Structure 1
Amino acid sequence: MSSIEGMAEQNVILVEKEVSTRFRLLSGLARESGGDEKIIVNKLQGFVETYQFKRIGYIAADGTAETTDGYRLNMSDRDFFQQSMRGKNFLTDAFEDRIDTSHETINVFSVPVYEKERKTVKGVLFATCKDEMLEGCLKNEIFEGQAFNYIIKIDGTIVATSGNSKEWGIGRNIFNTDVSEDERDDYAGDLMLSNMKEGKSGYGLDPKRKEVSLYYYMPLKIEESGEPWYVVTAVEDSVLTSRMQVVMDAINSLMVIILVVISVSVGVYIYSWRQSKKELMSLAYQDPVTLGDNFAAFKKKAKSKKDGVGWLIAMDVTDFKLINSTCGVKKGDEVLRVIWEIFETETGENELAAHVNADRFILFWMDENQENIKQRLEHVIRKIEEIPERLEIPNLFPVFGIFHTIVLDEIDPLYGNAVQAKHQIKGRRDRHYIFYDELNHESIQENRELEEHFETALENEEFEIWYQPKYSAHSRKLVGAEALVRWRRADGALIPPLKFIPLFERNGNIIRLDEYVFRAVCRQQKEWQKQGQKMLPVSVNISRVSLYYSSVVEKYESIIRSFDLDSKYIQLEITESATIDNNEIFNLLEQFHTAGFKILLDDFGSGYSSLATLNRMHFDTIKLDKSLVDYIGDDNGEKLLNSITKLAQSFGMEITAEGVETVEQLMFLCNLDCDDIQGYYFSRPLPVKEYEECLKEACM
């Protein structure tokens, strides 16, 4: 039941996110168009391909529609048109496409298009999706793909299904089936219908199918659907009990023997019962990968411990998914088993260890001395770091969060504290472990508030783009800028990037923030171009997290095309740390170059530097980190800078120096034939208006 509920929750999140993303896109396109239908239709084909729409179209106020696939027709009778003309975002039920002859089942998203003053609805922007869009959100691998997922309305009408549920059919009603009635089902159906009308979730049994099904229903928070939708997840009882079939077959065989051989029946029965219990216990408490304790076994043993004073430790491996992707899942499981063997060896007789899931482990060590815990962890870390050479895999970087305990009654909140501590250093390469007491809880609360306000900040455009100018080392003229992001809250308070960038890199929001900044810079460059301003390239940072996002090149290429902007005016900065442990980075760089972007290697020399990086990957420019520039004045440091610049220049790369603050640094870099200078010697980062003044001065 817990698995079914969890899968339903996952389906709800996926559907809501998919719908929300598409409405945000349409609303953004509607705002940018200013109600100009020519701009809308001519510029939207790229979005049709990128977001896998069937078509996008614009409907004027009189109902005349024009679509990206070349249709012109009157759609004034469409319900979604009428709803959006009233100022509403609207998502239709599934219905047959009446525009072409494909007879495909579709859903339509629609948003109002306002006049520039945003007071009057001028028309409607709509996008058509095949039913595979919602169906794709409902696909799952749980229970070997034998679970069924549906989206229904509260009257029971099915809106969409997972692929393996197609036999129910779009338009069918789960409360009306063509099989015999059952009083238990009538009660379950009535209760489900009643709960759905009140917006509640719940479980139920459906005995109408050939086999009894257990199902869970949960509301979707999609206001645009007009009436409430629900996600229903169901699985047959036989699937839930299939793992026990071998044990049950053994018991049945033994029962036959008992009936035939009555003299030994009691002894055989007792033996079989004990064996069955042992197998059941192993299913419940044995981890299938390590064959050791799982999280449930850890909890059970923890509750039975009288002495709960010790240290609860949460552990995982940074970027462990790279092992599975590059070496295969079998190799990944082998690594987990070796790590488990280390924990078994290093965990004392009265202590506990278990595999939670994926690459996550939990430990309970009872050593009272914190320094001893540190030494034990250092020993474990050394053993784990020896695994790659032994198994011929990429390097492993284990991370531990430690929480001091007094009692072990409730493991989940204690483990949560250890995980919270671990997340504070996850992604860093300077620390392997951290104690919960080291955390700045005020900072944690502040981070939580920033996460909660992220969506609102995007909608209200609270993220501002600042520009740090770049100057020619020899002519001292302005040659471009780097785009930086600042967060100005509604009360006017300015939040510096170090407060929110690392946080968003950890929780994944950085992907959307990167896209927001890139889109904002494209928009500003296009505006300056229309004004006749001098056009200089602006470089935009892409985080390492965004580089793992599928179709990242196509996404950025589509955005710059939507502004009809030459890619020579937008450059991309990739930090050197992003090239570590990313086997696809070489292909990504080539794809970006094919799309016309210049690629800058940012923060070169900040701690991850490898001269092999310059040889293996094609960068147009390397940006010397401030830590290298600060070496100027030191003989060895100056020799290092000289060697690096000469090597990069021999590869045909340009050199930009960051963090230049003194005339001595400037003169030294000029002597090295450094190309561009960035730093406080010339200018601090500037708001857009101040940078615009710099552009105007550059034109004089």
Structure 2
Amino acid sequence: MTWARRNRPILFFIFLNMSILAGWRFFFRENTWVAGLGITILQTLALIFNFYYLYQASKKEVTRFKYFWRLLSVGTLIYLSGNITWLFPQIMSGQPVNSAIEFTLWLIAYVVYLAALIYRVWASDRASFKQYYHFNIAVFMVMLSSVIAYYLVDSAWDYTNNSIVMTLVTLAYPLINLSSFFMIAILYYLVQKNRENNKILFLIAGFSFTISADYVYTYLEMNGSYYPGSAPDYLWLFGLWLIGLSAYYVKKENEQQLFNISKPVKHADMMMPYIVTLILIGLVIDSYNWQLNALSLGALVIIVMIIGRQVYVLRQNDELIEEYSYLAHHDSLTGLKNRVSFKKELDAEMAVRKDNEIALLMIDLDRFKIVNDTLGHQVGDLLLKKIANRLLQIMEQGMQVFRLGGDEFAVIISRPKDDVCERIANKILLILQDPFSVDGHDITLTTSIGVSMYPENGKTYEELFRFADTAMYLAKDKGKNGFEFFNEQLNQIMSRRMTIENGLQNGLREGQFSLHYQPKVDLKTRQIIGMEALLRWNHPELGEISPVEFIPVAEETGHIIAIGEWVIREACRQNKRWQRKGLPFLPVAVNVSVKQFQNGKLLSYIKRVLHETGMESRYLELEVTESIMQDIHQSSPVLHDLREMKISISIDDFGTGYSSLHIIQKLPVDTIKLDKSFIAEMEEPSQLAFVKSLIALGESLDLAVVAEGVETESQVNKLLDSRCRIGQGYLFSRPVPVDAFEEMMKDTLINREIRKLGT
């Protein structure tokens, strides 16, 4: 619905007033008393409308500007009193009657109006007030002062029979109005970048009309040519209604977007000095009764040409500014608005909506980095363009989509109703799941979305952004390809996550980490044949934190590099210590992150640790996950170098990730470890068959097979029947601290000696 249609009753009422004024003037043009009476009644009605809404605006406004609206309402009440004081004697006497009372009240009202404008300028934020505004205002005031001096001062001097006192009294209105015009000019520039400029520009326009009416009236009155219904009356009435509209929109500003008149004329602020110059030149020529000679005519033509050239330059500059502004506020790849626009728009929406809801959807593409790394950035860029187009297709009224950078997008929804957020989130998930055809590749993506609500979840840009981002990461943690709304429970979860994230670095420095060891057992003899070093963290505030919880955080923050290096060093140091004590020489397995391979320093670090601890490389085993195959070109050379050093390589959680038989055959892998989820469901015939196929696959590739998560004798029997010889799990031992595992190793050594004696 357009602004005009929404405000049709008010616009009709103003038009009706102006029409009645014109009709009244036409029918009663010969009767000065009746004509003046009708005009005053119409102005009085407008003043009543103004006072009511100005007073309501002063109650509605919660900022320091409420005093501005209060002063305006007081001034309007005084002005209304002056009208009523003038109106009743007219009605009672049946003829025009003027007294000093109403003129004094009107003068006081103008002084209060001026005080209100001065306060409004004083209370405004002047940070956006540009330096050249001072020049524009000065030029405007010089022109206005010159016009007043020429057209009014001389006339006032003659009008008051050369009396200085009477001349000053007569010019009191124009002088106060001149000051008001000065304040209006400043105020106009102050609201150029302000979201409330709609209502303030109505006010500025209203005062401009009423003050102009005063000047025209004074001039006509002094020259004896004023009559009721002439130009000043139309200007007065229209100006009064505009002032009332400004107050009316104070209470409407949160309900709908106002008619945007912030830039009624393009480059109005830059063109002001030139327009003023042309006006003054026209008046100067008029003062000479348009008697132009060749020189004055040439000067006039040159001035107009210079102004025309300046207008042309402004247009060119404007094109450049618009281009630069577009680049500054839009993403060059997708054409969507960028992060700069996102912050501005979100701040602006919160300023306008106040108590109404705004939804923020943070969108992150799952595993987009894999596309870039495997297919190249050119394909990645083309994919992002297609994603942006699909997002634009599902945007509805009141929604804006942005690209924040990389694979992150955002959607702002103004005043979302019912389940619109959930509906749009689902549409985004569905539309981005459809395969993309890019440069000969069919690419399938999933998306994680986080949603935060204003003002429920936060009242600042930073809070909404952080909470939506938090919800989005929870969606990722829950398996990706979904959306989550931010809530207080999530806030507690992410607060704990933040504590973990901040504590990781201190954990290493303050010795909060330790290693527990879990034995690998020969399923047939039940002898310990190896061990796995498992990281534990005893946080000073949170207590024991599961690796399942803190390892992903360490991966995301990059702390996994330093932590992983500490684990390798500590495992090698402890194993060598046990060997020096005469305990069995067992290989120790250490989990290694993909990020450690990507870091490029893993090989040299392991060499240094083995040299410093004195442990032989054949007693070190590195466990990697199947995700290492995502970047096989980088990891394969490192794995081969490790094999040459006689370090064993195991694939952990085999069968759950990115396994490729073709790649596994080419990698220097020694062992595959069956994930405990497979072992736990071996009672199911189909799952048992699957486990047997994995074990057979390992045998065919000449790989050792380790079953993780063994907890029952039944599982041991089934594994032995399936030709799996090595197991690891709670049936044999939980991961235990160093001292407890040392006792287990001593028992193993004793048992070996007993068996030797028996033979």
* TM-score range relative to shorter protein: 0.5 to 0.7
- Asked if the contact 1:323–1:393 (Cα under 8 Å) also holds between the matched residues in 2, the reply is no
Alignment-derived partner of residue 468 in structure 1: 518
- TM-aligned CA deviation for residue 650 of structure 1: 0.2
Alignment-derived partner of residue 676 in structure 1: 726
Matching residue's letter, 1:380: I
- TM-aligned CA deviation for residue 376 of structure 1: 3.0
- Asked if the contact 1:465–1:517 (Cα under 8 Å) also holds between the matched residues in 2, the reply is yes
Alignment-derived partner of residue 337 in structure 1: 385
1:577-598 deviation per Cα after TM superposition (whole angstroms, max 9, x unaligned): 4434665333332233233221
Measure, in 1, the Cα distance between the counterparts of 2:663 and 2:677: 18
Secondary structure of the 1:684 match is coil
- Asked if the contact 2:504–2:554 (Cα under 8 Å) also holds between the matched residues in 1, the reply is no
Aligned to 2:649, which of 599, 618, 621?
599
- TM-aligned CA deviation for residue 611 of structure 1: 5.2
Number of aligned residue pairs: 443
Secondary structure of the 2:533 match is strand
- TM-aligned CA deviation for residue 471 of structure 1: 0.6
Alignment-derived partner of residue 219 in structure 1: none
Sequence identity, in percent?
A: 28
Give the TM-score, by structure 2 length. 0.54
Measure, in 2, the Cα distance between the counterparts of 1:406 and 1:498: 34
Measure, in 1, the Cα distance between the counterparts of 2:705 and 2:620: 18
- TM-aligned CA deviation for residue 644 of structure 1: 1.4
Alignment-derived partner of residue 590 in structure 2: 540
Measure, in 1, the Cα distance between the counterparts of 2:549 and 2:477: 16
Alignment-derived partner of residue 288 in structure 1: 332
Measure, in 2, the Cα distance between the counterparts of 1:555 and 1:611: 30
- TM-aligned CA deviation for residue 616 of structure 1: 5.3
Measure, in 2, the Cα distance between the counterparts of 1:629 and 1:521: 27
Measure, in 2, the Cα distance between the counterparts of 1:654 and 1:614: 13
Secondary structure of the 1:468 match is strand
Matching residue's letter, 1:341: N
Alignment-derived partner of residue 687 in structure 1: 737
Secondary structure of the 2:487 match is helix
Matching residue's letter, 2:412: F
Measure, in 2, the Cα distance between the counterparts of 1:275 and 1:294: 20
Question: Does 1:328 pair with 2:372?
Answer: no
- TM-aligned CA deviation for residue 685 of structure 1: 1.1
Question: Does 1:403 pair with 2:447?
Answer: no
Question: Does 1:377 pair with 2:425?
Answer: yes
- Asked if the contact 1:470–1:482 (Cα under 8 Å) also holds between the matched residues in 2, the reply is yes
- Asked if the contact 2:446–2:481 (Cα under 8 Å) also holds between the matched residues in 1, the reply is no
Secondary structure of the 1:602 match is strand
Measure, in 2, the Cα distance between the counterparts of 1:311 and 1:476: 60
Give structure 1 stretches of 5+ with no counterpart.
Answer: 1-257
Higher helix share: 2
Secondary structure of the 1:452 match is helix
- TM-aligned CA deviation for residue 499 of structure 1: 3.4
User: Could you say if the C-alpha distance between residues 455 and 696 of structure 1 is closer, same or farther in structure 2, counting changes exceeding 3 Å?
Assistant: same
- Asked if the contact 2:505–2:559 (Cα under 8 Å) also holds between the matched residues in 1, the reply is no
Secondary structure of the 1:498 match is helix
Measure, in 2, the Cα distance between the counterparts of 1:592 and 1:395: 35
Measure, in 1, the Cα distance between the counterparts of 2:363 and 2:740: 48
Alignment-derived partner of residue 687 in structure 2: 637
- TM-aligned CA deviation for residue 620 of structure 1: 1.0
- TM-aligned CA deviation for residue 389 of structure 1: 4.2
1:269-314 deviation per Cα after TM superposition (whole angstroms, max 9, x unaligned): 3422431331232132122222221122223333444445232011
1:669-700 deviation per Cα after TM superposition (whole angstroms, max 9, x unaligned): 01111121101111111111111111112222
- Asked if the contact 2:707–2:727 (Cα under 8 Å) also holds between the matched residues in 1, the reply is yes
Question: Does 1:562 pair with 2:612?
Answer: yes
Matching residue's letter, 1:645: I
1:346-381 deviation per Cα after TM superposition (whole angstroms, max 9, x unaligned): 222321111112222211134746754334333323
User: Could you say if the C-alpha distance between residues 293 and 680 of structure 1 is closer, same or farther in structure 2, counting changes exceeding 3 Å?
Assistant: same
Measure, in 1, the Cα distance between the counterparts of 2:684 and 2:418: 41
Alignment-derived partner of residue 9 in structure 2: none
User: Could you say if the C-alpha distance between residues 425 and 568 of structure 1 is closer, same or farther in structure 2, counting changes exceeding 3 Å?
Assistant: farther
User: Could you say if the C-alpha distance between residues 606 and 331 of structure 1 is closer, same or farther in structure 2, counting changes exceeding 3 Å?
Assistant: closer
Alignment-derived partner of residue 357 in structure 2: 309
User: Could you say if the C-alpha distance between residues 367 and 378 of structure 1 is closer, same or farther in structure 2, counting changes exceeding 3 Å?
Assistant: farther
- Asked if the contact 1:606–1:627 (Cα under 8 Å) also holds between the matched residues in 2, the reply is no
Measure, in 2, the Cα distance between the counterparts of 1:343 and 1:491: 44
User: Could you say if the C-alpha distance between residues 285 and 526 of structure 1 is closer, same or farther in structure 2, counting changes exceeding 3 Å?
Assistant: same
Alignment-derived partner of residue 146 in structure 1: none
Question: Does 1:445 pair with 2:495?
Answer: yes
1:179-199 deviation per Cα after TM superposition (whole angstroms, max 9, x unaligned): xxxxxxxxxxxxxxxxxxxxx
- Asked if the contact 2:583–2:746 (Cα under 8 Å) also holds between the matched residues in 1, the reply is yes
Alignment-derived partner of residue 747 in structure 2: 697
Measure, in 2, the Cα distance between the counterparts of 1:565 and 1:366: 64
Matching residue's letter, 1:269: V
Matching residue's letter, 1:332: G
**Alignment RMSD:** 2.9
- TM-aligned CA deviation for residue 605 of structure 1: 3.2
Measure, in 2, the Cα distance between the counterparts of 1:554 and 1:384: 42
Secondary structure of the 1:548 match is helix
Measure, in 1, the Cα distance between the counterparts of 2:459 and 2:747: 69
- TM-aligned CA deviation for residue 397 of structure 1: 3.5
Higher strand share: 1
Give structure 2 stretches of 5+ with no counterpart.
Answer: 1-301, 751-759
Measure, in 2, the Cα distance between the counterparts of 1:691 and 1:394: 49
Question: Does 1:361 pair with 2:402?
Answer: no
1:595-646 deviation per Cα after TM superposition (whole angstroms, max 9, x unaligned): 3221111112346555566445442111111111122221111111111111
User: Could you say if the C-alpha distance between residues 581 and 412 of structure 1 is closer, same or farther in structure 2, counting changes exceeding 3 Å?
Assistant: farther
Give the TM-score, by structure 1 length. 0.58
Measure, in 1, the Cα distance between the counterparts of 2:642 and 2:431: 40
User: Could you say if the C-alpha distance between residues 313 and 466 of structure 1 is closer, same or farther in structure 2, counting changes exceeding 3 Å?
Assistant: same
Matching residue's letter, 1:399: S
Computing the radius of gyration over CA atoms, which structure comes out larger, 1 or 2? Answer: 2
Matching residue's letter, 2:338: N
Matching residue's letter, 2:555: E
Secondary structure of the 1:424 match is helix
Secondary structure of the 2:624 match is strand
Measure, in 1, the Cα distance between the counterparts of 2:542 and 2:630: 38
User: Could you say if the C-alpha distance between residues 423 and 547 of structure 1 is closer, same or farther in structure 2, counting changes exceeding 3 Å?
Assistant: farther
Question: Does 1:579 pair with 2:633?
Answer: no
Measure, in 2, the Cα distance between the counterparts of 1:513 and 1:370: 47
Secondary structure of the 2:409 match is strand
Question: Does 1:268 pair with 2:312?
Answer: yes
User: Could you say if the C-alpha distance between residues 518 and 350 of structure 1 is closer, same or farther in structure 2, counting changes exceeding 3 Å?
Assistant: same
Measure, in 2, the Cα distance between the counterparts of 1:367 and 1:621: 57
Matching residue's letter, 2:337: D
Measure, in 1, the Cα distance between the counterparts of 2:564 and 2:475: 22
Question: Does 1:519 pair with 2:544?
Answer: no
Higher deviation after alignment, 386-395 or 359-368: 386-395
Matching residue's letter, 1:442: Q
Measure, in 2, the Cα distance between the counterparts of 1:327 and 1:274: 41
Measure, in 2, the Cα distance between the counterparts of 1:516 and 1:426: 28
- TM-aligned CA deviation for residue 492 of structure 1: 11
